[in-house]
Amino acid sequence: MPKGYWVSVYPVISDLEELTAYNELAGAAVRAGGGRVLSRGARVVAHEAGIAHRVVLIEFDSFEQAAATYESEAYRKALAALPDGFERDFRIVEGVD
């Protein structure tokens, strides 16, 4: 069964400290859903049309597990904690089996 991944790109982060509540709630939801953080993207080298924004990569044992964690009550609480004016490009992608 192919793994599932959350891929988040953060084009604008005005203040990382404003994300503290979200990060704590999201981290707990991800761990409860069986997810593992592979990268928090402190260092990014972009090529071609890429832009060197912060990227977070989280791995789940399956695509279904990744999707279910996003829809979980615990993650909904994390989303509600995102600060106003916050931007991110978020995707759930299926890995190659």
pLDDT for residue 72 is more than 90: yes
Q: Is 6 within 8 Å of 70 (Cβ atoms)? A: yes
The predicted-structure confidence for 83-97, as pLDDT tens digits, reads as follows 877 788 999 999 998
**What architecture does CATH give domain 4-94?**
2-Layer Sandwich (3.30)
* Summary count for the chain: helices (H), strands (E): 3, 4
- Helix intervals (H) in the chain: 20-32, 63-71, 73-80
Enumerate the domain spans of the chain: 4-94
Which pLDDT score is estimated for 29?
98
pLDDT for residue 45 is more than 80: yes
Identify the band that residue 44 occupies on the pLDDT scale cut at 50, 70 and 90: confident
pTM for this predicted structure? 0.88
Pairing assessment for the beta strands 87-94 and 54-60 based on DSSP bridges = unpaired
The predicted-structure confidence for 3-29, as pLDDT tens digits, reads as follows 999 999 888 777 777 788 889 999 999
